[in-house]
Structure 1
Amino acid sequence: MMISSNSRHTVTLRFLAAPTDAGHDGTVDAGVVLQWIDKAAYAAAVGWSKSYCVTAYVGNIHFTAPVRIGEMVEVTATIVYTGASSMHISTTVVSGDPRTFGDPGVSAESRSQCLVIFVAVDEAGHPHPVPPFIASTPVEVLKRDHAISRIKVRSDIVEAMSRQEYTDAGSAEKVVLRFLSAPTDVNWGGKVHGGIVMKWIDEAAYVCASRYAGHAAVAVFSGGVRFYHPVLIGDLVEVEARLVYTGHKGMHIAVLVRSGDPATGVLELTTYCLTVMVIRDETGTALPVMPWVPVTDEDIRLAEHARELLEIRGRAPGNRLPNHLLDAVPATGSQQSI
């Protein structure tokens, strides 16, 4: 892996996608891409703050196309906005043929993009002040303003997600994965990598969506990945994935990660997000899925919650509602959810 820094606030990782990165369909899993994103964003955050940092939030992760094994991959993480102790980091993933990657006139293909928020902390785990980032070019100003415009949307998403309760009263497809976090999952602070947690989320969502659809599914979007507490090495981890809504093609899967001491069995919520999965034909085109009809009161409430999240995200600059909701709420912008 090659690491470079184009400026003090940008870090780029470059490497080949390895055979060990292959997922269920032979291309790189979304969970592996999320690990790459977390590593690049962490490097940018630590380089800027000069202190240990933790992943706080990952939002609006769009997987536009899969990364193929053997491709040259470039992950770029750029500080675009800072708060008192937080750093908002724009990340992009591109890939292409290693024989021509970077050659004049050869454009790498966009694979994924998202905004990651890291918080600098001191040795006691308390927020640590970071140097302010001052946008100085038109492009930096544009990216800063985009990050700022999403703060209210993100706050509304977090608030909406915090109101939800998941019990056994639901009737939708659900899977629960349980395991111990391993020493190989450790980050530089002695806790589990945020990227590893996101990989677990992708794996659980894959199983849930694939069981519902009867066909291997892939992630096209993840949103509202909120990290509440760290996962410690040796913790008992429980990853619950539940279908909460279906659009024309997308299966909306809520994923909750809980962890705790295996000796007591007491688990606390560490991470929560909503992932959209699709099934694709041999050309890569997303196919319609069987509509899911809510049955219980909890089913209905969670389906309405998923629709609420779609509507909140539709308010963000550059976003729009999916086609099946456009008749109910006017849409703006150009980005479409599924």
Structure 2
Amino acid sequence: MAVTGADEQERTLQPETTLRFMAAPTDVLMQGARGVHGGRVLEWIDKGAYACAVGWSGAYCVTAYVGHIHFTRPIPSGHIVEVRSRIVYTGRSSMHIVNEVLSADPREGVFTRACDCLVIFVAMDENRKSMPVPHFEPETDAGVRIQQAALSRVQLRKAIEEEMLKQSYSSDPAATTAPRMTHRFMAKPTDVNWGGNVHGGTAMEWIDEAASACTSAWTGERTVAVYAGGFRFYRPVHIGDLVEAEARIIRTDVRSMSVSVHLRAGDPREGTGNLPVAIHASMTYIATDIDGNPLAARQFTPTTPEDKRLSQHAATLRELRTKYRPMPLVEPLRDESQYPMN
């Protein structure tokens, strides 16, 4: 497909993008871990989807939504990684992009999937206002099915966002006894994206690091992300901002730990006592033994009214996934039950 304008050369629209690279030792978060941590995978997904969105729209794009991500197997350091991103649906200014992350031992060359998810990007004009994007229409039966699968997640996404917006988190230390951990640091120039702000994938990596530290400290074991329920992006993070990533365990089940993370950021010259929320995320973790086998979760018992309310909130998010049952974006693989969530 090509588009033309009075003042521009013909541009061919490509609805698919594939990034290919090798997973490095620096992509592994914990010593002795079996694979790349979830935050780095989220960063890869966001960059692949960004490249796809910009290639389709011809404009700078921002992440609007990431969610319903199942991490089904670890990606070992030294594997060749492919991030396959493709447009499946477009709104006026939004692009729904299906992403698959696969990896292969370079000695064998057999790629298998590690996770898949839907990312929504919005195209922005030079004034940072949303702008129209070219319309996408699937041309094959498989394309139609994937588009329908993406659209089946719209109601789930809206329900999750509404449920997350209902919740409030007190700053009073006496309001909770939940395990918490906060990371504070400055956003560096190396974190910048092509629009001058911190890349959404980098921010998601920070969220995973805080949540991993919180769950590891609680369990005394290595922990891995098995599910990312939703990331709500409220405002951009700028270079030089003071960043605060606060992770809090809000519920434990037999094996899983539900974690809520607020990433706050602001100019330190304006004060650091009440940084505005930039991203709110909901994620699920499990502890593993040295061989990567799931362990029973150390149990957290909510005692305060706020803790009990947020524990029910985590249960509601899980019930929403059962209620809406979105169609699979891609065909499931046999090995996608390695990390049970309960």
Q: How does 1:308-323 map to 2 (within 5 A)?
A: 308-317=316-325
The residue matched to 1:263 in structure 2 has which SS?
helix
Q: Summarize deviations over 1:31-72 as a string: whole Å, max 9, x none.
A: 111111111000000000000000111011111111111111
The one-letter amino acid of 2:205's match is K
Indicate if the aligned counterparts of 1:79 and 1:90 stay in contact, CA closer than 8 A: yes
Aligned alpha-carbon RMSD (Å): 1.7
What is the Cα deviation at residue 170 of structure 1?
Answer: 1.4
TM-score, scaled to structure 2: 0.88
Q: Give the number of equivalent residue pairs.
A: 314
What is the Cα deviation at residue 290 of structure 1?
Answer: 2.2
Indicate if the aligned counterparts of 2:156 and 2:326 stay in contact, CA closer than 8 A: no
Query: Gaps spanning 5+ residues in structure 2: where?
Result: 1-12, 329-336
CA distance in 2, matches of 1:318, 1:225: 18
Match of 2:157 among 138, 154, 157: 154
What is the Cα deviation at residue 319 of structure 1?
Answer: 7.7
Change in 2 beyond 3 A, CA 1:250/1:319: farther
The one-letter amino acid of 1:282's match is I
Q: How does 1:156-195 map to 2 (within 5 A)?
A: 156-167=159-170, 168=172, 169-195=175-201
Q: How does 1:239-318 map to 2 (within 5 A)?
A: 239-265=245-271, 266-317=274-325
CA distance in 1, matches of 2:252, 2:310: 11
1:11 matched to 2:17? The reply is yes
The one-letter amino acid of 1:244's match is I
Name 2:134's counterpart in structure 1.
Answer: 131
What is the Cα deviation at residue 96 of structure 1?
Answer: 1.1
Name 1:215's counterpart in structure 2.
Answer: 221
Q: Summarize deviations over 1:257-314 as a string: whole Å, max 9, x none.
A: 1111101124211101111111112332211112211100000000010001001111
Q: Summarize deviations over 1:101-152 as a string: whole Å, max 9, x none.
A: 1xxxxx4121111111100011111111111110121111111111111111
1:64 matched to 2:67? The reply is no
Match of 2:53 among 45, 58, 79: 45
Higher relative contact order (CA 8 A, sep 6+): 2
Query: Gaps spanning 5+ residues in structure 1: where?
Result: 1-6, 102-106, 321-333
Match of 1:206 among 190, 207, 212: 212
Q: Percent identity?
A: 48
CA distance in 2, matches of 1:314, 1:224: 15
Name 1:324's counterpart in structure 2.
Answer: none
Q: Summarize deviations over 1:217-244 as a string: whole Å, max 9, x none.
A: 1111111111110000000111110000
